[in-house]
Amino acid sequence: MIRTNTAFLDFILANQDRYPKSLVQELSIEKGHKLIRQRSLVNAVSIINEGIAKCYLYQDDGTDFILEFFGPGEVVGEIEMLNNEFSFAAVEALTPMTVLRLTRDRFIELLTKDPVFNNHVLKLLAGKVKYKATRFSFTQTHTLEQTLTKMLEDMPDLLEVISKKDLVSYLGITKRSLNRTLKNLKEQGHI
């Protein structure tokens, strides 16, 4: 459930000649800092090197909805760059992070001139579509108990890594429901 893309990150890191530090700037990001603000102009693409971020939407009523958790190799800002639109989601560091940052012009240039880079971005987008589709479908057609059980199977240390507050936003439910369901799972010995 924390998405990564080591193939892409390894590729960038292994080809310092093609992607030198002068063009792919390495940045440190503090926990809590926003890599992208919602409904703002995005002028750089960031590839996550270390750390975890949450990508989320906030609604008019003040509730957040977390779309994905991003880990190493995942890319943020590319959707806005391609669509040439304001950001539709926000991205915020959940841990201290380091990212590799490309300016708009550099990103576009690599997309057009570097076929391998281009192909990585295509695959990356296809992966995001597929991830969202399958997750959406699953949560929509399963009960909260089933969804949580599966998440805990896939990632046993889930509750240590992700705060309950974020988990609630990720599932689109209330704290109350999460607590009740977790308690049920514990009583059933599934956890």
d(CA 145, CA 27) in angstroms, rounded, equals 40
Q: How many residues belong to the site for a copy of itself (CB under 8 A)? A: 34
Output DSSP code: residue 20.
-
Helix (H, G, I), strand (E, B) or coil at 86: coil
Q: Which does 179 bind (CB under 5 to 8 A by kind): DNA, a copy of itself, none?
A: DNA
- Closest approach of Cβ 170 to DNA, in Å? 12
d(CA 39, CA 152) in angstroms, rounded, equals 33
- Residues of span 58-87 touching a copy of itself by CB under 8 A: 59, 61, 63, 65, 67, 78-79, 82-83
Residue 23: which residues within 8 A CB-CB, separation 6 or more? Answer: 102, 106
Please state at what angle helix 144-154 crosses helix 175-187, rounded to 10 degrees: 70
Contact letters for DNA, residues 141-170 (x by CB under 7 A):
--xxx-----------------xxx-----
- Residues of span 150-179 touching a copy of itself by CB under 8 A: 172
Cα distances from 23 to residues 12, 57, 70, 82, in angstroms, run: 12, 30, 23, 19
Nearer to a copy of itself, 137 or 179 (CB): 137
Q: Which two tokens stand for residue 10?
A: 């390894």
Query: Half-sphere exposure of residue 81, counting CA atoms within 13 Å on the CB side?
Result: 21
Among 7, 27, 115, 188, interactor with a copy of itself by CB under 8 A: 115
Q: Which does 82 bind (CB under 5 to 8 A by kind): DNA, a copy of itself, none?
A: a copy of itself
From 20-28, 98-106, 117-125, 172-180, give the range in contact with DNA by CB under 7 A.
172-180
Among 177, 185, 188, 189, interactor with DNA by CB under 7 A: 177
Interaction of residue 137 with DNA, rule CB under 7 A: no
In the complex, which residues of this chain contact DNA (CB under 7 A)? Answer: 143-145, 163-165, 172-177, 179-181, 183
